[in-house]
Structure 1
Amino acid sequence: MPGDDAVIGATRRWLERAVIGLNLCPFAKAVHARGQVHFAVSAADSPASILDDLARELDGLVARDARERDTTLLIVPHCLELFLDFNDVVARGERMIRKKGLEGVIQLASFHPHFCFADSSDDDVTNFSNRSPYPTLHLLREASIDKAVRAFPDAEAIYGANLETLRKLGAEGWAALDVGPAR
């Protein structure tokens, strides 16, 4: 299994080449350029341990000024290989956010090497909009999302544009980006 530096390197490459490079998230470039993205690697090998790590990262994000840390990517390389198990942890993470009274303050997004939209086949290239080298829990500040959406003329069009970008790119184009999945 790769070490933390390799895991972060693969995730950073995915962020730079796919998420930012393909403009899948037009808001990511600015926070990345300002060094406000925190990369954390979970050593957890069980869902309960991942949730402990998520709670720690959540507390760490909330405790810092957004100008220092605007968002956190918690990368989980040793667990949650199965997408359905990952979805269960995401649901539990969302409940944690609510229980901590942070609903409307922090949002949890998720990425997985085997992500598959409910209405698509596993080999549909549009699934790659949410595929990452490793299971990844993404903590975002709602205030930053709101600010970015206000600055973006048609934020609701992002999803459709992403699907079109990925269809044009195709599976071979995605593979040429060399961004995973790592497994």
Structure 2
Amino acid sequence: MSSNLHPAVEKTKRWLEEIVIGLNFCPFAKKEFVNNTIHYHASKHGMIEQALHELAEQMQFLIEHPEIETSLVVYATGFRDFGRYLDLVDYANDLLVSLELEGEIQIASFHPDYIFEGESEQSPSNYTNRSPFPTIHLIREPSMEKVLAVYKNPEQIPQDNIELAHEKGVKFFKQFLASVHKM
């Protein structure tokens, strides 16, 4: 890993490579990782207004750089509280609408304490969206639509991920995330 990267980005890249790609949680991530078409941005913001301004800049960056397929905005210090992070995600989706980028960019979210609605805090399924740092993933929607159109049974991906997360178990994911933070 490159030493000029922010430590939160290095740790996120390791999670992406070993968990998201390694466990095939996202069957589309490997190509972009290998082709180096993922933009990583380490944010130092912890206040919603500043973070939204930065997200608008990152959305614009993605639009202006067609060679970049997707972006990860990694919150190195802010939004550790999951409820506060969910507020940011809600505002980010509103921002997407106000910037008239619906149909161009989609938002996916990852957080160290991610809990799916209706799941217990200890459910292994939460680890399909648990990351080393709070992260907003900006996805080019037309590209995702193209990939999904040729992927067999894309609606099965979340269920497959949940089953694999249960097979691996909470201990596996906790150990991995602890090892990432020791880097």
Structure 1 length normalisation: TM-score? 0.92
Contact kept in structure 2, 1:132 and 1:181, CA below 8 Å: no
How many pairs align? 179
Rate the CA distance shift 1:70–1:170 in 2: closer, same or farther, 3 A.
Answer: same
Contact kept in structure 2, 1:80 and 1:86, CA below 8 Å: yes
What are the within-5 Å matches in structure 2 for residues 24-35 of structure 1?
Answer: 24-35=25-36
Cα RMSD between the aligned structures?
Answer: 1.8
What is the match of residue 12 of structure 2? 11
Query: In 2, distance between residues paired with 1:175 and 1:108?
Result: 25
- Taking every aligned residue pair, what percent have the same amino acid on both sides? 32
What is the match of residue 123 of structure 1? 122
What are the within-5 Å matches in structure 2 for residues 1-183 of structure 1?
Answer: 5-65=6-66, 68-178=67-177, 182=181
Query: In 2, distance between residues paired with 1:102 and 1:153?
Result: 28
Instruction: Report the 3-state secondary structure (helix = DSSP H, G, I; strand = E; otherwise coil) of the residue aligned with 2:6.
Output: helix
Query: In 1, distance between residues paired with 2:23 and 2:172?
Result: 11
**Deviation (angstroms), 1:173:** 2.2
Rate the CA distance shift 1:51–1:180 in 2: closer, same or farther, 3 A.
Answer: farther
Letter of the 2:41 counterpart: A
Q: Deviation per CA, 1:154-173, whole angstroms, max 9, x where unpaired?
A: 10000000000001111222
Structure 2 unaligned segments of length 5 or more: list them. none
Contact kept in structure 2, 1:72 and 1:139, CA below 8 Å: yes
Instruction: Report the 3-state secondary structure (helix = DSSP H, G, I; strand = E; otherwise coil) of the residue aligned with 1:80.
Output: coil
Instruction: Report the 3-state secondary structure (helix = DSSP H, G, I; strand = E; otherwise coil) of the residue aligned with 2:137.
Output: strand
Contact kept in structure 1, 2:11 and 2:180, CA below 8 Å: no
Query: In 2, distance between residues paired with 1:99 and 1:47?
Result: 16
**Deviation (angstroms), 1:11:** 0.1
Q: Deviation per CA, 1:103-161, whole angstroms, max 9, x where unpaired?
A: 11100111000000111111111100000000001000001111110121110000000
Query: In 1, distance between residues paired with 2:179 and 2:48?
Result: 23
Structure 1 unaligned segments of length 5 or more: list them. none
Letter of the 1:80 counterpart: F
Instruction: Report the 3-state secondary structure (helix = DSSP H, G, I; strand = E; otherwise coil) of the residue aligned with 1:172.
Output: helix
